[in-house]
């Protein structure tokens, strides 16, 4: 069991919502990464809240 809320946050993607930059539809994203199912718009993964799991540096 996680010893701190901060540690727990790194284990579970954070779901956030924004308006699509192209068509304005409200879309959900994980960790700041979005893909609109209406028009196909996606944002740069570099705009996410953290690196992709493959690029993540493990501590310890
Ligand atoms: Zn869209």
Residue 42 forms part of a structural domain: yes
14: tokens are 């954070």
Over residues 3-10, mean pLDDT: 61
CB 53 within 8 A of CB 31: no
- Put simply, whether the predicted model's pTM sits higher than 0.85 gets the answer no
Q: How far is the CA of 15 from the centre of ligand 1 (A)?
A: 18
Q: Do residues 26 and 46 make contact, with C-beta atoms less than 8 angstroms apart? A: no
Cα of 41 from ligand 1 centre, angstroms: 5
% of the chain residues with pLDDT over 70: 58
Q: 58: CA distance to ligand 1 center in Å?
A: 34
Domain coverage including residue 17? 5-55
* Dist. CA 40 → ligand 1 center (Å): 6
Domain total for the chain?
1
Tell me how far apart the alpha carbons of residues 58 and 60 are, in angstroms, rounded to a whole number: 6
Is 60 a domain residue?
no
């Amino acid at each position: 069991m996680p010893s701190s809320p901060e540690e727990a946050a790194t284990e579970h993607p954070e779901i956030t919502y924004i308006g699509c930059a192209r068509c304005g539809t409200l879309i959900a994203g994980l960790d700041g990464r979005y893909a609109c199912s209406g028009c196909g718009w996606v944002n740069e993964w570099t705009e996410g809240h953290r690196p992709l799991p493959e690029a993540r540096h493990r501590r310890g």
